[in-house]
A and B are shown apart, each in its own frame.
Chain A
Amino acid sequence: MAIFCTLLVFIIIAAFIAVETKKLLSAVICIGAIGFGASIMFLFLWAPDIAITQIVVEVLGLIILIRATISRDRTFIAGDREFFGMIVSLVIILVIAVAGVSVFPETLPDFGTPVFTETSNSASQTYIEEGLEKTGAANLVASVILDFRAYDTLGEATVLFTTIIGATVILRKKTKKLLEEPDL
């Protein structure tokens, strides 16, 4: 439990630095630190599938962001933060904190002990008991995301596919030529 609190404090400090720093490269590196902290937390929660995906995506996203920031001429943020926006965000954070402190300790279960493990015939218990027999996959996560809940995977694949198609259409050379031409 102590290691989760330590990692949470580390992640929150990294997030504050990423928002408040002036240099874009430092902000990108702090975002990478957030991802690696989350990956270590998943490892300690016995979820290696999520940890592998998190750390790999984090590395690739970091490469993309660093290439995008180094290529810019202005790698720092000029000007001060708006006073009104800071007040509004502080009020929002205070309201969420007060609500969390007053409501959550009675309703939320302890960290790392989900509600599904306490009831007998819930969905996750059914997956654990009958997953190997019904799908034949030793990795229960694979049997859930590709057999029981494959609709979610199809939706995720569709989102990725649509994003790539949109990026290809917008960033290709023909679009640039069309943008430079005057409207008829």
Chain B
Amino acid sequence: MKGMTIIVKNISSFVKVLIFLFGIYIILFGHLTPGGGFAGGVIVASSYVLLMLAYGREFAEENLSLPTTSRLDCVGALLFAAIALFGLFYGATGFFWNFIHQKELWGQPLKLLSAGTIPLSNISIGIKVGSSLFLVILILSSFRLETSASEKE
């Protein structure tokens, strides 16, 4: 489990940055173009999965360790709930009320800075989904390594 050949390592070291940037683009432009927080988060997670498959689990854990990933997961969920609660308390209108667009009215439609709380929700869901899906693969691979090592003994 020390990774793949040098061809795969070299190519994935170029490609992983492009995949990561594409995921961030999908998240940030989720209110204008197709995509959104969930799809962009999965693309961001798949860039780290590519890193893990090419270089091995230890290298990927040096970049984004397991406790950090777990904390990012919690931070994303907390941000999304906080946006919902702000709509409840700020305007006293309702849960998930789009308080930025309805009250402040900044930003033209069809521009990047528009749509109120929708880009913020996209960013929080992207953080949450990306870190949690990377966490699944980290946990499963570490668990499999431990069980196979104990079976060989």
Contact = CB atoms under 8 A, between A and B. Distances in A.
Interface residues of B, number: 54
B56 interface: no
Interface of A: 48-49, 52-53, 56-57, 59-60, 63-64, 67-68, 71, 132, 134-139, 141-143, 145-147, 150-151, 153-154, 157-158, 160-161, 164, 167-168, 171-173, 176
Contacts of A147: 96, 98, 117-118
Contact of A142 (B43, B80, B107, B122): B122
Interface of B: 26, 30-39, 42-43, 45-46, 49, 53, 70, 73-74, 77, 80-81, 84, 95-96, 98, 101, 107, 109-110, 114-118, 121-122, 125, 128-129, 132-133, 135-137, 139-144, 146, 148
Contact of A157 (B42, B128, B139): B128
A135 B118 contact: yes
A143 B115 contact: yes
A141 B109 contact: no
Nearest to B70: A168
Contact of A136 (B53, B96, B109, B137): B109
A135 B116 contact: yes
B140 A157 contact: no
Q: Which 7 A-B pairs have the closest CB atoms?
A: A137-B115, A48-B34, A150-B96, A137-B31, A136-B115, A164-B132, A56-B42
